[in-house]
Chains A and B, each alone.
Chain A
């Protein structure tokens, strides 16, 4: 699981490639039939964008083969390089957390981007704005909000595939919007990273020909059962149990909810973490795989 394949998967093969520990976390999934999905973006220490390089290595034309690009939230370690990804994946549907679905938020993104005077450091806000600019210039309705229970991609036929958003829950959307609007209206020169609570991140349920994957993003557990992982579990929006788990919050304790492991995952599910701080995950699961070995992102 921790080695990087450099052969193109066959049309019937499902492949999950996890990138991380360079700067941030990114997941690439072959949905079968030559169709791909990119979830978040990260960059290597030398500012390369591994997911694009990897697709190039495989000889995959990102412009036509990538069908969905998801920005689960705008933390810098998940969105850095996203504008490059979206630019290359020109035919992909762009999916963004509904926690950002507000005019006030977008206006604030523009305002913060304009008033922030960063010299070299990339900004999550700036990256998001650049990304949205690309999507906007394409016109049409090439973008979709992700909210609990919404199908963001579906393919029927001999090799069916579907991607569902498990979050944010309605209550999380409201709380996130309040939180973001509050920050933005202050007009502060900050990256709008939300340290203690990330209610708006998009967790995804991916199912391709019976193979189920749960991508945790940075969705956190909270004391409020109407938000965070408890809300996901209580929503019962997920069919069956997943055999692949992208561990949320880089393995940190604030993304841990034991019921996820008990109720959403197969007993022998493989868990993949892009470590930030390994947290407590190691105590709970034997089949834990970390990204970033052998000097590769």
Chain B
């Protein structure tokens, strides 16, 4: 049986004294986990570790006589903004990002918000911090609906810290079972895996599996028993819709009521599918006043003309207020969703904190500066 704690194993390695073989040991650990998932994969490691452009691990396989390749980027112990940048850079490349974000605080910095998510790569997230970063992306909701049909070779998975390794196995098993419409196989897989998780996590996994089931042509009312058992407990009525700030829950804890047991805490709010994105704006601060600020905003949905809007200061969190000054960038979203108390509209503003340019960007800028200054007559 596969280790349940890849994240823990990696973390333990990182806490050990650093030596020249550390990167290799981490790569080998990850490679061994991947082989358990798919023993037909050819797994090569590169000489680079955490490099911006060069993958740490290369996955290769053959399908119908054709060779396929997928790159895996290891991102360990990085911060949220760095993961967001990497996610942006790798979106569309079909790459796998194995990320363990340092959980430096309860909420994700607004700068950690990726502008887009990979459309075919897989994001295997090993820490709650990494999940929060991805949740901050606007298309997280739709991403979360696209499921890991074949985790390594294709498809997408957004996997939480505790469920990551198990879900990796589970999806592989489940997709095989479903593709053969092997209900018994799926039921067995579901039973054994779901039993390992807290109700909230099990419910999520059941949701993934149910989607797999439907994708494979299974009827919704004919779900294998373990899934049918879990799914009703995921209904929106049982979830508290929490306010979001920059895509991050303001209230860290939502409560999922398990009909058969006590309330359990879901440390990560993952019900964005239940929230409709109504308006999404990007803006910059024109002027800061005594009790608020004036911003010029542009509609990211592209339907409303640019507008100048006055905001009250109490719409900003205390940390956001620290970054508030004329010229600051901010994101503003207006969402509505169903909550136990009825339809709720939530307006959230997140000021984008500083982002330092990379060393590559600095050196390119250096060259550009000299070249451009050259076209000016001497002052």
Contact = CB atoms under 8 A, between A and B. Distances in A.
Interface of A: 23, 45-46, 76, 96, 98, 101, 103, 106-112, 114-121, 132-133, 135-136, 138-145, 147, 186-196
B160 to A, nearest CB: 25
B323 to A, nearest CB: 9
Interface string B344-358: 000000001111111
Contacts of B283: 121
A23 B305 CA distance: 11
B111 to A, nearest CB: 7
A297 B300 CA distance: 23
Interface stretch (B42-50, B90-98, B245-253, B362-370): B362-370
A103 B373 contact: yes
10 contacts: A46-B305, A76-B284, A110-B368, A111-B365, A112-B357, A120-B302, A121-B298, A121-B329, A187-B355, A190-B327
A9 B375 CA distance: 33
Contacts of B325: 190, 195
Contacts of B274: none
B88 A117 contact: yes
Contacts of A187: 354-357
A141 B288 contact: no
A287 to B, nearest CB: 28
A140 B377 CA distance: 9
Interface residues of B, number: 45
Contacts of B364: 110, 114
A40 B325 CA distance: 24
Contacts of A135: 372, 375
Interface string B292-310: 0000101110100110000
Contact of B357 (A101, A106, A114, A118): A114
Contacts of B184: none
B188 interface: no
Contacts of A112: 357
B39 interface: no
B211 interface: no
B377 A118 contact: no
B371 interface: yes
B220 interface: no
Nearest to B110: A189
B282 A121 contact: yes
A106 B286 CA distance: 23
B86 interface: no
B365 A145 contact: no
Most buried by A among B282, B299, B353, B355: B355
Contacts of A118: 282, 329
B365 to A, nearest CB: 3
Nearest to A138: B375
B328 interface: yes
Contacts, number: 133
Contacts of B362: 107, 111
Contacts of A141: 375-377
A23 to B, nearest CB: 7
A116 B366 contact: no
Nearest to B352: A189
Interface string B104-127: 000000010001000000000000
Contact of B329 (A101, A110, A190): A190
A128 B354 CA distance: 20
A195 B326 contact: yes
Contacts of A193: 284, 286, 326-327
B88 A145 contact: no
A128 to B, nearest CB: 10
Contacts of B300: 119-120
B287 interface: yes
A106 B327 contact: no
Contacts of A110: 361, 364-366, 368-369
A190 B283 CA distance: 11
Contacts of B327: 190-195
A45 B306 contact: yes
A190 B352 CA distance: 8
Contacts of A189: 111, 329, 352-355
B282 A120 contact: yes
B379 interface: yes
Given A103-B370, A119-B115, 19 more contacts: A45-B305, A111-B361, A115-B357, A116-B329, A120-B299, A121-B298, A135-B375, A136-B371, A136-B374, A140-B375, A141-B376, A143-B377, A144-B377, A145-B376, A147-B379, A188-B354, A189-B111, A191-B327, A195-B327
A227 B267 CA distance: 55
A140 B354 CA distance: 36
A111 B357 CA distance: 6
A117 B355 contact: yes
A118 B328 CA distance: 11
CB-based closest 3 A-B pairs: A110-B365, A195-B326, A106-B369
A45 B308 CA distance: 12
A2 to B, nearest CB: 22
A133 B355 CA distance: 23
